[in-house]
Protein backbone atom coordinates (compact mmCIF):
# COMPACT_ATOMS: atom_id res chain seq x y z
CA UNK A 1 0.00 0.00 0.00
CA UNK A 2 2.82 2.41 0.87
CA UNK A 3 4.51 1.66 -2.45
CA UNK A 4 1.33 2.55 -4.38
CA UNK A 5 0.85 5.73 -2.33
CA UNK A 6 4.41 6.80 -3.15
CA UNK A 7 3.84 6.05 -6.84
CA UNK A 8 0.58 8.03 -6.82
CA UNK A 9 2.20 11.07 -5.20
CA UNK A 10 5.04 11.09 -7.73
CA UNK A 11 2.56 10.68 -10.60
CA UNK A 12 0.48 13.60 -9.30
CA UNK A 13 3.61 15.77 -9.05
CA UNK A 14 4.66 15.02 -12.65
CA UNK A 15 1.23 15.74 -14.13
CA UNK A 16 0.79 18.89 -12.05
CA UNK A 17 4.13 20.22 -13.31
CA UNK A 18 3.19 19.62 -16.96
CA UNK A 19 -0.25 21.17 -16.40
CA UNK A 20 1.17 24.34 -14.83
CA UNK A 21 3.65 24.91 -17.67
CA UNK A 22 0.86 24.44 -20.24
CA UNK A 23 -1.53 26.69 -18.32
CA UNK A 24 0.97 29.53 -17.93
CA UNK A 25 2.85 29.45 -21.24
CA UNK A 26 1.31 27.21 -23.94
CA UNK A 27 -2.49 27.20 -23.91
CA UNK A 28 -2.87 30.28 -26.16
CA UNK A 29 -0.30 29.19 -28.76
CA UNK A 30 -1.29 27.92 -32.22
CA UNK A 31 1.22 25.09 -32.74
CA UNK A 32 -1.47 22.51 -31.97
CA UNK A 33 0.42 19.39 -33.10
CA UNK A 34 3.38 20.21 -30.87
CA UNK A 35 1.02 20.97 -28.01
CA UNK A 36 -0.65 17.61 -28.54
CA UNK A 37 2.74 15.89 -28.35
CA UNK A 38 3.51 17.85 -25.18
CA UNK A 39 0.23 16.86 -23.51
CA UNK A 40 0.65 13.19 -24.45
CA UNK A 41 4.22 13.27 -23.14
CA UNK A 42 2.91 14.58 -19.83
CA UNK A 43 0.59 11.58 -19.52
CA UNK A 44 3.29 9.04 -20.36
CA UNK A 45 5.81 10.70 -18.04
CA UNK A 46 3.36 10.71 -15.12
CA UNK A 47 2.69 6.99 -15.70
CA UNK A 48 6.25 5.74 -16.29
CA UNK A 49 8.76 7.95 -14.46
CA UNK A 50 7.22 7.39 -10.99
CA UNK A 51 8.26 3.74 -11.40
CA UNK A 52 11.92 4.75 -11.63
CA UNK A 53 13.85 5.47 -8.42
CA UNK A 54 16.51 8.18 -8.58
CA UNK A 55 19.35 8.11 -6.04
CA UNK A 56 22.12 10.51 -5.11
CA UNK A 57 25.23 9.67 -3.12
CA UNK A 58 26.03 11.14 0.27
CA UNK A 59 29.49 10.50 1.70
CA UNK A 60 29.75 10.40 5.47
CA UNK A 61 32.73 9.47 7.65
CA UNK A 62 32.58 5.95 9.01
CA UNK A 63 31.97 5.84 12.77
CA UNK A 64 34.89 4.75 14.92
CA UNK A 65 34.57 1.19 16.24
CA UNK A 66 36.13 0.36 19.61
CA UNK A 67 36.88 -3.10 20.90
CA UNK A 68 35.12 -3.82 24.15
CA UNK A 69 34.69 -6.50 26.74
CA UNK A 70 31.78 -7.05 29.10
CA UNK A 71 31.48 -8.87 32.38
CA UNK A 72 28.53 -11.16 33.00
CA UNK A 73 25.35 -9.40 31.94
CA UNK A 74 21.80 -10.58 32.28
CA UNK A 75 18.96 -8.96 30.39
CA UNK A 76 15.58 -10.49 31.09
CA UNK A 77 12.43 -9.72 29.16
CA UNK A 78 10.39 -11.30 31.95
CA UNK A 79 11.16 -8.33 34.21
CA UNK A 80 9.65 -5.87 31.79
CA UNK A 81 6.78 -3.73 32.97
CA UNK A 82 3.71 -4.55 30.83
CA UNK A 83 2.65 -1.81 28.47
CA UNK A 84 -0.53 -0.01 29.33
CA UNK A 85 -3.37 -1.01 27.04
CA UNK A 86 -5.00 1.89 25.26
CA UNK A 87 -8.11 2.25 23.18
CA UNK A 88 -7.63 1.62 19.50
CA UNK A 89 -7.54 4.99 17.67
CA UNK A 90 -9.46 5.70 14.50
CA UNK A 91 -7.47 4.63 11.47
CA UNK A 92 -7.92 7.57 9.11
CA UNK A 93 -5.83 5.81 6.48
CA UNK A 94 -8.58 3.20 6.07
CA UNK A 95 -11.21 5.94 5.73
CA UNK A 96 -9.19 7.83 3.11
CA UNK A 97 -8.49 4.60 1.24
CA UNK A 98 -12.21 3.83 1.20
CA UNK A 99 -13.03 7.26 -0.21
CA UNK A 100 -10.30 6.94 -2.85
CA UNK A 101 -11.52 3.50 -3.99
CA UNK A 102 -15.13 4.76 -4.02
CA UNK A 103 -14.11 7.50 -6.46
CA UNK A 104 -12.41 4.97 -8.73
CA UNK A 105 -15.49 2.73 -8.68
CA UNK A 106 -17.81 5.65 -9.50
CA UNK A 107 -15.71 6.93 -12.41
CA UNK A 108 -15.10 3.40 -13.68
CA UNK A 109 -18.83 2.66 -13.62
CA UNK A 110 -19.58 5.86 -15.53
CA UNK A 111 -17.07 4.97 -18.27
CA UNK A 112 -18.40 1.42 -18.59
CA UNK A 113 -22.00 2.67 -18.65
CA UNK A 114 -21.24 5.08 -21.50
CA UNK A 115 -19.37 2.42 -23.46
CA UNK A 116 -22.27 -0.01 -23.13
CA UNK A 117 -24.71 2.70 -24.26
CA UNK A 118 -22.60 3.49 -27.33
CA UNK A 119 -22.23 -0.19 -28.17
CA UNK A 120 -25.96 -0.83 -28.00
CA UNK A 121 -26.62 2.20 -30.21
CA UNK A 122 -24.13 1.02 -32.84
CA UNK A 123 -25.69 -2.46 -32.92
CA UNK A 124 -29.17 -1.04 -33.59
CA UNK A 125 -28.32 1.77 -36.04
CA UNK A 126 -27.76 1.85 -39.79
CA UNK A 127 -24.11 2.64 -40.52
CA UNK A 128 -22.70 4.34 -43.63
CA UNK A 129 -18.97 4.36 -44.37
CA UNK A 130 -17.40 7.69 -45.34
CA UNK A 131 -13.68 7.23 -45.87
CA UNK A 132 -12.10 5.87 -42.69
CA UNK A 133 -15.15 6.90 -40.64
CA UNK A 134 -18.52 5.24 -40.13
CA UNK A 135 -21.50 7.58 -39.98
CA UNK A 136 -24.26 6.73 -37.49
CA UNK A 137 -27.51 8.78 -37.73
CA UNK A 138 -29.42 8.38 -34.44
CA UNK A 139 -31.79 10.66 -32.55
CA UNK A 140 -30.65 9.40 -29.12
CA UNK A 141 -27.83 11.95 -28.96
CA UNK A 142 -28.61 15.63 -29.64
CA UNK A 143 -24.99 16.69 -30.18
CA UNK A 144 -22.64 15.44 -32.89
CA UNK A 145 -19.48 13.62 -31.80
CA UNK A 146 -16.97 10.98 -32.83
CA UNK A 147 -16.08 7.84 -30.91
CA UNK A 148 -13.13 5.82 -32.22
CA UNK A 149 -13.92 5.72 -35.97
CA UNK A 150 -17.69 6.21 -35.51
CA UNK A 151 -19.30 9.63 -36.11
CA UNK A 152 -22.72 10.19 -34.52
CA UNK A 153 -24.98 12.88 -36.01
CA UNK A 154 -28.61 13.55 -35.16
CA UNK A 155 -31.02 12.95 -38.11
CA UNK A 156 -32.46 16.46 -37.61
CA UNK A 157 -29.22 18.00 -38.94
CA UNK A 158 -29.54 18.98 -42.64
CA UNK A 159 -27.13 17.66 -45.27
CA UNK A 160 -25.20 20.91 -45.75
CA UNK A 161 -24.46 21.01 -42.05
CA UNK A 162 -23.58 17.29 -42.06
CA UNK A 163 -20.79 17.96 -44.59
CA UNK A 164 -19.23 20.62 -42.35
CA UNK A 165 -19.51 18.39 -39.29
CA UNK A 166 -17.94 15.47 -41.17
CA UNK A 167 -15.00 17.65 -42.23
CA UNK A 168 -14.40 18.30 -38.56
CA UNK A 169 -14.98 14.78 -37.22
CA UNK A 170 -12.86 13.12 -39.93
CA UNK A 171 -9.85 14.95 -38.50
CA UNK A 172 -10.54 13.37 -35.10
CA UNK A 173 -10.84 9.93 -36.70
CA UNK A 174 -7.75 10.17 -38.92
CA UNK A 175 -5.52 11.61 -36.20
CA UNK A 176 -6.85 9.10 -33.64
CA UNK A 177 -7.73 11.69 -31.04
CA UNK A 178 -9.65 8.98 -29.18
CA UNK A 179 -6.27 7.65 -28.00
CA UNK A 180 -5.51 10.94 -26.22
CA UNK A 181 -8.88 10.84 -24.48
CA UNK A 182 -8.54 7.16 -23.55
CA UNK A 183 -5.15 7.68 -21.90
CA UNK A 184 -6.19 10.75 -19.94
CA UNK A 185 -9.41 9.05 -18.81
CA UNK A 186 -7.42 6.08 -17.47
CA UNK A 187 -5.07 8.49 -15.72
CA UNK A 188 -7.98 10.45 -14.26
CA UNK A 189 -9.52 7.21 -13.02
CA UNK A 190 -6.63 6.69 -10.58
CA UNK A 191 -5.65 10.33 -10.10
CA UNK A 192 -9.12 11.79 -9.64
CA UNK A 193 -8.07 13.35 -6.33
CA UNK A 194 -5.70 15.65 -8.24
CA UNK A 195 -7.58 18.77 -9.44
CA UNK A 196 -5.00 19.31 -12.17
CA UNK A 197 -5.89 16.01 -13.87
CA UNK A 198 -9.38 17.42 -14.53
CA UNK A 199 -7.87 20.63 -15.91
CA UNK A 200 -5.42 18.57 -17.98
CA UNK A 201 -8.31 16.60 -19.49
CA UNK A 202 -9.87 19.87 -20.62
CA UNK A 203 -6.56 20.96 -22.19
CA UNK A 204 -6.41 17.78 -24.29
CA UNK A 205 -10.04 17.94 -25.43
CA UNK A 206 -9.84 21.63 -26.38
CA UNK A 207 -6.53 21.23 -28.23
CA UNK A 208 -8.04 18.36 -30.23
CA UNK A 209 -10.91 20.65 -31.21
CA UNK A 210 -8.43 23.33 -32.29
CA UNK A 211 -6.67 20.74 -34.48
CA UNK A 212 -9.95 19.66 -36.05
CA UNK A 213 -11.08 23.26 -36.60
CA UNK A 214 -7.79 24.13 -38.29
CA UNK A 215 -7.99 21.23 -40.76
CA UNK A 216 -11.75 21.59 -41.35
CA UNK A 217 -11.39 25.27 -42.27
CA UNK A 218 -8.79 24.31 -44.87
CA UNK A 219 -11.18 21.79 -46.47
CA UNK A 220 -14.43 23.74 -46.43
CA UNK A 221 -15.35 25.88 -49.42
CA UNK A 222 -17.17 28.37 -47.21
CA UNK A 223 -15.73 29.08 -43.73
CA UNK A 224 -18.92 30.96 -42.88
CA UNK A 225 -20.98 27.79 -43.29
CA UNK A 226 -18.59 25.91 -40.99
CA UNK A 227 -18.91 28.54 -38.26
CA UNK A 228 -22.69 28.56 -38.72
CA UNK A 229 -22.73 24.78 -38.25
CA UNK A 230 -20.80 25.26 -35.01
CA UNK A 231 -23.35 27.81 -33.80
CA UNK A 232 -26.23 25.46 -34.59
CA UNK A 233 -24.63 22.85 -32.31
CA UNK A 234 -24.02 25.36 -29.51
CA UNK A 235 -26.76 24.31 -27.09
CA UNK A 236 -26.55 20.56 -27.63
CA UNK A 237 -24.87 18.75 -24.73
CA UNK A 238 -21.75 16.61 -25.18
CA UNK A 239 -22.31 12.90 -24.72
CA UNK A 240 -19.44 11.03 -23.05
CA UNK A 241 -15.94 11.85 -21.90
CA UNK A 242 -14.30 9.42 -24.34
CA UNK A 243 -15.81 11.17 -27.37
CA UNK A 244 -14.67 14.19 -29.38
CA UNK A 245 -17.70 16.47 -29.36
CA UNK A 246 -18.19 18.86 -32.27
CA UNK A 247 -19.45 21.59 -29.94
CA UNK A 248 -16.97 21.09 -27.06
CA UNK A 249 -16.00 24.41 -25.41
CA UNK A 250 -17.79 26.34 -28.15
CA UNK A 251 -17.22 29.91 -27.03
CA UNK A 252 -15.57 33.13 -28.12
CA UNK A 253 -12.13 31.70 -27.38
CA UNK A 254 -12.54 28.91 -29.95
CA UNK A 255 -13.63 31.33 -32.68
CA UNK A 256 -10.73 33.66 -31.87
CA UNK A 257 -8.28 30.79 -32.20
CA UNK A 258 -9.56 30.15 -35.75
CA UNK A 259 -8.67 33.72 -36.74
CA UNK A 260 -5.32 33.95 -34.94
CA UNK A 261 -2.28 34.24 -37.19
CA UNK A 262 0.62 31.85 -36.70
CA UNK A 263 3.45 33.76 -35.06
CA UNK A 264 7.21 33.23 -34.86
CA UNK A 265 8.31 29.57 -34.86
CA UNK A 266 10.66 30.40 -32.02
CA UNK A 267 7.64 30.47 -29.73
CA UNK A 268 7.68 26.69 -29.99
CA UNK A 269 10.73 26.74 -27.73
CA UNK A 270 8.34 27.47 -24.88
CA UNK A 271 7.83 23.73 -24.49
CA UNK A 272 11.38 23.59 -23.09
CA UNK A 273 10.07 25.39 -20.02
CA UNK A 274 9.03 21.95 -18.82
CA UNK A 275 12.70 21.05 -18.21
CA UNK A 276 12.78 22.77 -14.80
CA UNK A 277 9.82 20.58 -13.87
CA UNK A 278 12.00 17.52 -14.50
CA UNK A 279 14.74 18.97 -12.31
CA UNK A 280 12.40 19.88 -9.43
CA UNK A 281 10.41 16.63 -9.36
CA UNK A 282 13.45 14.38 -9.76
CA UNK A 283 15.23 16.22 -6.95
CA UNK A 284 12.17 16.24 -4.68
CA UNK A 285 11.71 12.47 -4.85
CA UNK A 286 15.37 11.42 -5.10
CA UNK A 287 16.53 9.07 -2.35
CA UNK A 288 19.94 9.37 -0.68
CA UNK A 289 22.51 6.57 -0.71
CA UNK A 290 24.98 6.84 2.13
CA UNK A 291 28.58 5.83 1.46
CA UNK A 292 30.93 5.58 4.41
CA UNK A 293 34.47 6.83 3.94
CA UNK A 294 37.43 5.36 5.79
CA UNK A 295 38.04 6.75 9.26
CA UNK A 296 41.52 7.43 10.67
CA UNK A 297 40.33 7.25 14.26
CA UNK A 298 42.32 4.99 16.60
CA UNK A 299 40.41 1.77 17.28
CA UNK A 300 42.95 0.18 19.63
CA UNK A 301 41.48 1.59 22.80
CA UNK A 302 39.55 -0.96 24.83
CA UNK A 303 36.47 0.21 26.70
CA UNK A 304 35.02 -1.85 29.53
CA UNK A 305 31.30 -1.63 30.18
CA UNK A 306 30.35 -1.91 33.88
CA UNK A 307 28.35 -4.95 34.95
CA UNK A 308 24.62 -4.69 34.48
CA UNK A 309 22.62 -6.75 36.91
CA UNK A 310 19.06 -5.56 36.39
CA UNK A 311 17.54 -3.83 33.37
CA UNK A 312 13.86 -2.89 33.48
CA UNK A 313 12.15 -2.18 30.17
CA UNK A 314 9.08 0.02 30.20
CA UNK A 315 6.72 0.78 27.35
CA UNK A 316 3.51 2.45 26.41
CA UNK A 317 0.86 1.92 23.81
CA UNK A 318 -0.45 -1.37 22.50
CA UNK A 319 2.26 -2.59 20.14
CA UNK A 320 4.24 -5.22 22.06
CA UNK A 321 5.91 -6.81 19.05
CA UNK A 322 8.78 -4.90 17.44
CA UNK A 323 10.10 -6.36 14.18
CA UNK A 324 13.80 -6.76 13.84
CA UNK A 325 16.65 -9.20 13.99
CA UNK A 326 19.73 -9.92 16.07
CA UNK A 327 23.15 -10.14 14.48
CA UNK A 328 26.48 -11.04 16.08
CA UNK A 329 29.48 -10.04 14.04
CA UNK A 330 33.20 -9.50 14.51
CA UNK A 331 34.30 -5.87 14.15
CA UNK A 332 37.98 -5.22 13.50
CA UNK A 333 39.00 -8.51 15.21
CA UNK A 334 37.32 -7.46 18.48
CA UNK A 335 37.14 -9.30 21.77
CA UNK A 336 34.21 -11.63 20.93
CA UNK A 337 35.42 -13.87 18.06
CA UNK A 338 33.88 -17.37 17.89
CA UNK A 339 31.48 -16.62 20.71
CA UNK A 340 29.59 -19.71 21.84
CA UNK A 341 25.84 -19.28 21.28
CA UNK A 342 23.36 -21.49 23.14
CA UNK A 343 19.64 -21.26 22.40
CA UNK A 344 17.29 -23.23 24.66
CA UNK A 345 20.19 -25.41 25.77
CA UNK A 346 21.39 -26.23 22.24
CA UNK A 347 24.66 -24.92 20.76
CA UNK A 348 23.73 -22.90 17.66
CA UNK A 349 25.71 -21.71 14.67
CA UNK A 350 25.77 -17.95 14.10
CA UNK A 351 24.25 -18.40 10.64
CA UNK A 352 21.16 -20.03 12.13
CA UNK A 353 21.04 -17.35 14.82
CA UNK A 354 20.78 -14.30 12.52
CA UNK A 355 17.07 -14.77 11.78
CA UNK A 356 15.97 -14.97 15.43
CA UNK A 357 13.37 -12.30 16.18
CA UNK A 358 13.78 -10.22 19.38
CA UNK A 359 10.06 -10.70 20.02
CA UNK A 360 10.66 -14.45 20.51
CA UNK A 361 13.34 -14.00 23.20
CA UNK A 362 12.49 -14.38 26.91
CA UNK A 363 15.99 -13.69 28.27
CA UNK A 364 19.63 -13.23 27.21
CA UNK A 365 22.66 -13.97 29.40
CA UNK A 366 26.16 -12.84 28.29
CA UNK A 367 29.01 -14.58 30.14
CA UNK A 368 32.64 -13.52 29.85
CA UNK A 369 34.04 -14.40 33.27
CA UNK A 370 36.32 -17.50 33.14
CA UNK A 371 34.54 -19.07 36.10
CA UNK A 372 31.17 -18.70 34.36
CA UNK A 373 32.42 -20.08 31.04
CA UNK A 374 34.49 -22.95 32.50
CA UNK A 375 31.66 -25.53 32.25
CA UNK A 376 31.71 -25.12 28.47
CA UNK A 377 35.42 -25.92 28.14
CA UNK A 378 37.47 -24.78 25.16
CA UNK A 379 34.35 -23.74 23.18
CA UNK A 380 33.45 -21.14 25.79
CA UNK A 381 36.85 -19.51 26.15
CA UNK A 382 35.79 -16.47 24.07
CA UNK A 383 32.54 -15.96 25.92
CA UNK A 384 29.08 -17.52 25.99
CA UNK A 385 25.71 -16.07 25.03
CA UNK A 386 22.80 -18.02 26.51
CA UNK A 387 19.36 -17.29 25.06
CA UNK A 388 16.05 -18.59 26.34
CA UNK A 389 13.14 -18.23 23.91
CA UNK A 390 9.53 -17.79 24.84
CA UNK A 391 8.71 -20.93 22.91
CA UNK A 392 10.71 -23.04 25.36
CA UNK A 393 8.64 -21.60 28.22
CA UNK A 394 5.30 -22.49 26.64
CA UNK A 395 3.26 -25.24 28.29
CA UNK A 396 0.02 -27.08 27.47
CA UNK A 397 -3.28 -26.08 29.05
CA UNK A 398 -6.37 -28.26 29.19
CA UNK A 399 -9.77 -28.00 30.78
CA UNK A 400 -13.54 -28.21 30.45
CA UNK A 401 -16.17 -25.50 29.84
CA UNK A 402 -19.60 -25.88 31.48
CA UNK A 403 -22.62 -23.74 32.27
CA UNK A 404 -23.88 -22.96 35.79
CA UNK A 405 -25.72 -26.27 35.90
CA UNK A 406 -22.53 -28.17 35.10
CA UNK A 407 -23.54 -29.13 31.55
CA UNK A 408 -20.65 -29.12 29.03
CA UNK A 409 -20.75 -26.31 26.46
CA UNK A 410 -19.94 -27.40 22.92
CA UNK A 411 -18.62 -24.85 20.41
CA UNK A 412 -16.84 -22.60 22.89
CA UNK A 413 -13.84 -20.85 21.31
CA UNK A 414 -10.71 -20.42 23.43
CA UNK A 415 -7.94 -18.07 22.29
CA UNK A 416 -4.59 -17.52 24.01
CA UNK A 417 -2.28 -14.57 23.42
CA UNK A 418 0.99 -13.41 24.96
CA UNK A 419 3.83 -10.94 24.55
CA UNK A 420 5.28 -12.81 21.58
CA UNK A 421 2.13 -12.07 19.64
CA UNK A 422 1.52 -15.77 18.85
CA UNK A 423 -2.17 -16.67 19.13
CA UNK A 424 -3.41 -20.20 19.78
CA UNK A 425 -7.01 -21.31 19.40
CA UNK A 426 -9.08 -24.30 20.44
CA UNK A 427 -12.76 -25.26 20.38
CA UNK A 428 -14.66 -27.45 22.81
CA UNK A 429 -16.26 -30.66 21.63
CA UNK A 430 -19.51 -32.26 22.78
CA UNK A 431 -17.90 -33.04 26.17
CA UNK A 432 -16.91 -29.39 26.65
CA UNK A 433 -13.19 -30.21 26.83
CA UNK A 434 -10.34 -28.29 25.21
CA UNK A 435 -6.56 -28.55 24.89
CA UNK A 436 -4.09 -25.84 23.83
CA UNK A 437 -0.64 -27.32 23.32
CA UNK A 438 1.58 -24.24 23.71
CA UNK A 439 0.62 -21.35 25.99
CA UNK A 440 3.01 -18.69 27.26
CA UNK A 441 3.32 -18.05 31.01
CA UNK A 442 2.14 -14.44 30.57
CA UNK A 443 -0.74 -15.33 28.27
CA UNK A 444 -4.45 -14.77 28.86
CA UNK A 445 -7.23 -17.13 27.78
CA UNK A 446 -10.32 -15.65 26.14
CA UNK A 447 -13.48 -17.81 26.22
CA UNK A 448 -16.31 -17.05 23.79
CA UNK A 449 -19.59 -18.96 23.40
CA UNK A 450 -22.67 -17.61 21.66
CA UNK A 451 -25.35 -16.67 24.19
CA UNK A 452 -22.91 -16.49 27.11
CA UNK A 453 -20.83 -13.70 28.63
CA UNK A 454 -17.29 -13.44 27.31
CA UNK A 455 -14.71 -14.52 29.89
CA UNK A 456 -10.96 -13.84 30.27
CA UNK A 457 -8.81 -15.98 32.62
CA UNK A 458 -5.15 -16.66 33.34
CA UNK A 459 -4.07 -20.22 32.41
CA UNK A 460 -3.54 -22.90 35.06
CA UNK A 461 -0.57 -25.04 34.00
CA UNK A 462 -0.68 -27.34 37.06
CA UNK A 463 -4.23 -28.68 36.92
CA UNK A 464 -7.17 -29.13 34.58
CA UNK A 465 -9.17 -25.92 34.36
CA UNK A 466 -12.91 -25.87 34.99
CA UNK A 467 -14.48 -22.85 33.37
CA UNK A 468 -18.07 -21.86 34.19
CA UNK A 469 -19.81 -19.60 31.66
CA UNK A 470 -22.73 -17.35 32.59
CA UNK A 471 -25.71 -16.75 30.32
CA UNK A 472 -25.73 -13.30 28.70
CA UNK A 473 -29.18 -11.79 29.38
CA UNK A 474 -28.67 -9.14 26.68
CA UNK A 475 -27.96 -11.67 23.93
CA UNK A 476 -30.53 -11.79 21.12
CA UNK A 477 -30.48 -14.74 18.75
CA UNK A 478 -30.20 -13.68 15.07
Residue-level pLDDT at 262: 66
Name the most confidently modeled range: 225-239, 241-255, 281-295: 281-295
Identify the top-confidence range among 28-42, 291-305, 387-401: 28-42
Model confidence pLDDT, tens digit, residues 5-15 = 999 999 999 99
Look at residues 444, 452, 445 and name the one whose alpha carbon lies nearest to residue 471: 452
Tell me the pLDDT band of 425, cut-offs 50, 70 and 90.
confident
Mean pLDDT computed over 317-339: 47
- Domains in the chain (CATH in brackets) are 92-266 (no CATH), 307-392 (no CATH), 394-468 (2.60.40.10)
Mean pLDDT score, 109-125: 94
Q: Tell me how far apart the alpha carbons of residues 440 and 394 are, in angstroms, rounded to a whole number.
A: 4
In 48-70, which positions are buried (b, 16+ CB within 10 angstroms) versus exposed (e)? ebbeeeeeeeeeeeeeeeeeeeb
Q: In this predicted structure, what is the pLDDT of residue 237?
A: 53
String of b and e for 413-446 (b: at least 16 CB within 10 Å)?
ebbbbbbbebebebebeeebebebebbbebbebb
Under DSSP, the state recorded for 375 is G
Closest CA to 424 of 410, 438, 434, 411: 438
* pLDDT value of residue 129: 93
Is this structure's pTM higher than 0.75?
Answer: no
Q: How many residues does the chain have?
A: 478
Q: Give pLDDT, residue 273.
A: 94
Q: Are 229 and 165 spatial neighbours (Cβ–Cβ below 8 Å)?
A: yes
Q: Among 335, 342, 338, which Cα is nearest to 363's?
A: 342
The answer, yes or no, to whether residue 331 has pLDDT greater than 60, is no
Q: What percent of the chain has pLDDT over 90?
A: 43
pLDDT band at 54 (very low <50, low <70, confident <90, very high): confident
Q: What mean pLDDT is reported for the chain? A: 80
Q: Each residue of 371-387: pLDDT tens digit?
A: 666 677 777 777 788 88
| Residue 201 in this model has a pLDDT that exceeds 70 | yes
| Pairing mode, strands 395-402 and 465-468 | parallel
Distance CA 417, CA 425 (A): 9
pLDDT at 183 over 90: yes
> Which residue did the predictor score with more confidence, 75 or 199?
199
Helices (H), 233-341: 252-259, 275-284
**Span 234-260, mean pLDDT?**
67
Sign for the pseudo-dihedral over CA of 400, 402, 408, 413: negative
The larger pLDDT score, comparing residue 169 to residue 385, is at: 169
CA distance 186 to 251: 27
Amino acid sequence: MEAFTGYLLRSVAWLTGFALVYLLFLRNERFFQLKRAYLMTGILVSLILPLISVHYQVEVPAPAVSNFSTPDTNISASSAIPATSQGKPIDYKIILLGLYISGIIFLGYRIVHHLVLIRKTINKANINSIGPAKLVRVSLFPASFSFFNYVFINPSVDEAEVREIMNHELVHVKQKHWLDLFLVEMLRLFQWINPFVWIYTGFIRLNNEYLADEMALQRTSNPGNYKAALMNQLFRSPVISLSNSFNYSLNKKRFEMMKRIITSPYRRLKVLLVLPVFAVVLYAFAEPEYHYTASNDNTDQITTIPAIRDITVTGSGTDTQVPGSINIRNVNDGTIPDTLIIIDGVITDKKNFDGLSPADIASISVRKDPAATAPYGEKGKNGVIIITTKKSLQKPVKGVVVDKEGKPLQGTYITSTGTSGNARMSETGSDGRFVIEAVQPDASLLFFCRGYKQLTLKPDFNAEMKVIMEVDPEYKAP
